Chains A and B, each alone.
Chain A
């Protein structure tokens, strides 16, 4: 029987629904019965009969790259657990989904939790993790209830607990709730938080999670969507899965499109098989009436902005425009940005870039954990400068200061939040410098001096 979707929420014909197959599906509930009826936990049965290393090899062969932001190959990550390890191994599902512009994991948690559990239990088996944690952001209270119920159901059916399905493998999963901080999504911050501490990211080296993670034991942190893919890789076989998408950019991924398009929403597509233009015009029904594309943040708020009229030079010598960029990892990187978390933010010509960057800077200043100097001090400084630009209290050289503050952060911090908060500013200024300077007042040059700033200068000269 063909799958039916709630009216008005049917997938677009260009979509390839693997992970989101059951999202908005008529008659499908988060219950285990619904999942089992649909053939759920069959892949777990298959996997439990496989060699652990064979599962890892399938995941490697699939070419799956992490969907949490960095796009790191999942199978390779699993292979980083030291072979000589004698400590317990943990898997953590990163369900902190807090990158602005990203809204995919929540649907899986709410509507298809068992898909995640099945993928995660297979992953646990593959890396021999007997304990796993699902770290759910505090803003998803309902998701936590649903996933906990799903865990109880899975345990009752013998998919979790001791000697799963007679395989001799024991595994338990637990839900852990975050406390409302973006930095809890950064994997080492998350681990600290899970250990009951402030989510201060750890320095790497030495604290690479695969070796020294949770409780200083090998730990695999994977995004919700990444773990769901594992189930489908077992189902299809790694090689077959790798035929989805494009080389080195395999499988499907969920794009979360927001902003000034007619039909914002989530679209699961084969990686690299649709272009930015198709996302906007075909999937999302085009820009709002009478509006023109101005800029796109292609992979969550931390990715560098792309300008509508930019030309991008690719490695093979081709030069393409923004609408021709295939939605994959590598081309997006070649265009100077990143596919990131899949959050595509479309901005039309009604948007003030000064306002946008100020909005982002407010977010990052609020979310910097405050542990390391450049990000802690720089993020708030950037916010304060852009606050003044927005309110017309800045001089054009403030834009240059803003840029240099971002430069002073990038690459000098403990965690990738440093890049997350400096890339937006760097790219917006690089690409919209004139507009931002235009929002400043030339007559204010040399006029804006805080009294404290003067004292500071004197103190330093002394």
Chain B
């Protein structure tokens, strides 16, 4: 073990709420109550672990985090404690290791994460975990991100002296619509059980049998089917729980991850989009303790397949004698301008979407201004929220739409519908919404001389439109949104849009320019700067400053039920948080 550099000796006794802890020879200070494993992590001494998860209770069952620990022996009465070279009380090392995950640091404690004892113990635990493990890595989805693989390389023995038959257990068990179980791979860390019981309030998982025959199962008559079931796949440290959706689709080492925001509802759960080339294979939650903790709902997570859809619009099109013909972007944009410029503002309507980014909405507003119309709105999507993350507002950016367009989402739709049905609208721009799916009648749409659709998928309203502009999907764009709690968040481009589809914000910008507006905005950063100058809530912000975790920009009294409960458990010391 290389001797770590010695820290300067702490001169005065630490403040009441800090304790001195020696980690691998270095004295550091930590707040009282810090778990040993977190202290080691802060000291850049990662302790391998399986069952510990900061958002779940700590059963201490895997024993992977065992470390050598010591405390200064209590001096005999009247005697001064012996001091080490830093002037700290000398540590009396315990003969037995302790778990770092559930124990908290104490004044004068010593932790050795690399000592012979610690390493021997880890080897032993690794060996035990592997003797009955099927080691079918070549066909296991977890391969490449498997903690068992990782730690066995680092801490394993590299050979097997196991001469017995392995315990056989059920494989390929159907435990729910989206999650599949391989019991032989399960290392019985109980993370999934704790998640379903503690976070999802649906305690459907449990162990049956005992000893080495212990088997994870769903309770009789129950299924793992709640809307948060796929989080168990994320936290399973091995390939025991796999996602039906992702199963056998792709080896994980070919995937690149991009930070994004879920579009499924106004919560805006932070996530990573995993893609190979321009195909998305899965999405996983990304930790954000102000939004979604470490979790996300199944519905949101799986709602990416449309991005890969074969019905994507790939070229701008203009109708000629009732038939759509592919055209160039330049001609398509000009066609829109030709249709709209010169038409009276009250004969134009823009029906945009609260699924658009702030930057896109900025241009929607510009466009409305230049066309002189007040008929601008977005389509609200009110559904039901749950008691966890999912928000009742199923639009990801209603707050952005409200802030930027300056009106309550949906407040002008009745008026626009009325004008449309009376044949008063000559130009309607449907931006990011399929009007036939949003309560508009076909016969009314047919009355519009110039119906323009900007969308990503071929649909019936696009079919009706004179001009069709293919935009890009959330995973293909950069931009920002404001979630239901008023948090401004950023998304990044994970894949490229198909064919000749373009960034939606650029299409809108070009429309503004073609309709006589001014240019000068060439990047999302530029657009955001303009927004920051115009929208008081964004004052002082830049696109970069939003950061990976977002910033609060609006006061809302929205509480996030799941996070409130996590805060309570943290306050009680049940979880680290």
Query: Taking beta carbons and an 8 Å cutoff, which residues of A are in contact with B?
Result: 181, 198, 200, 203, 205-206, 365-374, 376-381, 384-385, 388, 398, 401, 408, 411-414, 448-450, 452-457, 459-462
- Give the residue of A372, A448, A459 whose beta carbon is less than 8 angstroms from that of B62: A372
| A200–B214 CB distance below 8 A | no
| A379–B128 CB distance below 8 A | no
- Give the residue of A365, A379, A384, A460 whose beta carbon is less than 8 angstroms from that of B160: A460
| A371–B165 CB distance below 8 A | no
- Give the residue of B128, B131, B188, B211 whose beta carbon is less than 8 angstroms from that of A456: B131
Nearest CB of A to B530, in Å: 55
Within 8 A of A (CB), among B40-97: 58-64, 66, 95-97
Query: A380-B211, A412-B66, A456-B131 are known contacts. Are A374 and B125 too (CB-CB below 8 A)?
Result: yes
Q: Does B212 contact A (CB under 8 A)?
A: yes
Nearest CB of A to B96, in Å: 4
Q: Does B135 contact A (CB under 8 A)?
A: yes
| A450–B165 CB distance below 8 A | yes
Q: B151-159, B376-384, B474-482, B550-558: which lies at the A interface?
A: B151-159
Known pairs A408-B124, A412-B97. 18 more at Cβ < 8 A? A373-B61, A373-B63, A373-B129, A374-B63, A374-B124, A377-B131, A381-B162, A452-B162, A452-B166, A453-B161, A453-B162, A453-B163, A453-B164, A456-B162, A457-B160, A459-B137, A460-B152, A460-B157
| B59–A460 CB distance below 8 A | no
> Which one of A384, A388, A412, A414 has the greatest number of beta carbons of chain B within 10 Å?
A412
| B158–A460 CB distance below 8 A | yes
Give the residues in chain A near B206, CB-CB below 8 Å: 198
Query: A376-B211, A377-B132 are known contacts. Are A450 and B164 too (CB-CB below 8 A)?
Result: yes
Inter-chain CA distance A367–B212, complex, in Å, is: 10
Give the residues in chain A near B64, CB-CB below 8 Å: 373
Q: Does B17 contact A (CB under 8 A)?
A: no
- Give the residue of A374, A379, A413, A461 whose beta carbon is less than 8 angstroms from that of B159: A461
Nearest CB of A to B518, in Å: 62
Give the residues in chain A near B152, CB-CB below 8 Å: 460
| B209–A412 CB distance below 8 A | no
Query: A198-B207, A203-B60, A368-B210 are known contacts. Are A373 and B125 too (CB-CB below 8 A)?
Result: yes
Q: Does B167 contact A (CB under 8 A)?
A: yes
Nearest CB of A to B421, in Å: 63
Within 8 A of A (CB), among B114-154: 121, 124-125, 127-133, 135, 137, 152
| A203–B160 CB distance below 8 A | no
| B135–A459 CB distance below 8 A | yes
Inter-chain CA distance A206–B99, complex, in Å, is: 12
| Residue on A nearest B99 in the bound complex, by CB | A203
**Could you name 14 residue pairs across A and B whose Cβ atoms are closer than 8 Å?**
A205-B102, A370-B214, A373-B63, A373-B64, A373-B129, A377-B131, A379-B212, A388-B163, A453-B162, A456-B131, A456-B135, A457-B160, A461-B158, A461-B159
Give the residues in chain A near B99, CB-CB below 8 Å: 203
Inter-chain CA distance A456–B162, complex, in Å, is: 9
Give the residues in chain A near B130, CB-CB below 8 Å: 456, 460
Give the residues in chain B near A448, CB-CB below 8 Å: 163
Give the residues in chain B near A401, CB-CB below 8 Å: 161
Q: Does B103 contact A (CB under 8 A)?
A: yes
| B160–A453 CB distance below 8 A | yes
Inter-chain CA distance A452–B214, complex, in Å, is: 20
| Residue on B nearest A455 in the bound complex, by CB | B135
> Which one of B156, B167, B188 has the greatest number of beta carbons of chain A within 10 Å?
B188
Give the residues in chain A near B213, CB-CB below 8 Å: 370, 380
Nearest CB of B to A381, in Å: 6
Give the residues in chain A near B127, CB-CB below 8 Å: 408
Inter-chain CA distance A206–B213, complex, in Å, is: 28
| B162–A460 CB distance below 8 A | no
Give the residues in chain B near A181, CB-CB below 8 Å: 210
Query: Taking beta carbons and an 8 Å cutoff, which residues of B are in contact with A?
Result: 58-64, 66, 95-97, 99, 102-103, 121, 124-125, 127-133, 135, 137, 152, 156-167, 187-188, 206-207, 209-214
Interface majority SS (helix, strand, loop, mixed), chain A: helix
| B162–A376 CB distance below 8 A | no
| B131–A376 CB distance below 8 A | no
| B164–A384 CB distance below 8 A | yes
Give the residues in chain A near B167, CB-CB below 8 Å: 380
Nearest CB of B to A442, in Å: 16
Nearest CB of B to A385, in Å: 7
Give the residues in chain A near B121, CB-CB below 8 Å: 412
- Give the residue of A372, A377, A454 whose beta carbon is less than 8 angstroms from that of B60: A372
Inter-chain CA distance A32–B58, complex, in Å, is: 46
Give the residues in chain B near A455, CB-CB below 8 Å: 135
Query: A-B pairs with the 5 shortest C-beta distances?
Result: A370-B214, A408-B124, A380-B212, A377-B128, A459-B135
| A457–B163 CB distance below 8 A | no
> Which one of B60, B162, B187 has the greatest number of beta carbons of chain A within 10 Å?
B162
Inter-chain CA distance A183–B562, complex, in Å, is: 35
| B211–A373 CB distance below 8 A | no
Query: A373-B63, A374-B128 are known contacts. Are A367 and B211 too (CB-CB below 8 A)?
Result: yes
| A368–B211 CB distance below 8 A | yes
Nearest CB of A to B466, in Å: 61
| A370–B188 CB distance below 8 A | yes
Inter-chain CA distance A155–B453, complex, in Å, is: 82
Nearest CB of B to A387, in Å: 9
Query: A198-B207, A206-B102, A373-B187 are known contacts. Are A414 and B60 too (CB-CB below 8 A)?
Result: yes
Give the residues in chain B near A452, CB-CB below 8 Å: 162, 165-166
Give the residues in chain A near B63, CB-CB below 8 Å: 372-374, 412-414
Give the residues in chain A near B131, CB-CB below 8 Å: 377, 381, 456
Nearest CB of A to B2, in Å: 26
| Residue on B nearest A393 in the bound complex, by CB | B163
| B156–A460 CB distance below 8 A | yes
Give the residues in chain B near A460, CB-CB below 8 Å: 130, 135, 152, 156-160
Nearest CB of B to A256, in Å: 26
Inter-chain CA distance A379–B161, complex, in Å, is: 16
| B129–A377 CB distance below 8 A | yes
Inter-chain CA distance A457–B157, complex, in Å, is: 9
Nearest CB of A to B192, in Å: 15
Nearest CB of A to B168, in Å: 10
Query: A368-B212, A373-B125, A456-B135 are known contacts. Are A203 and B207 too (CB-CB below 8 A)?
Result: no
| B59–A200 CB distance below 8 A | yes
Nearest CB of A to B198, in Å: 14
- Give the residue of A203, A367, A378, A385 whose beta carbon is less than 8 angstroms from that of B164: A385
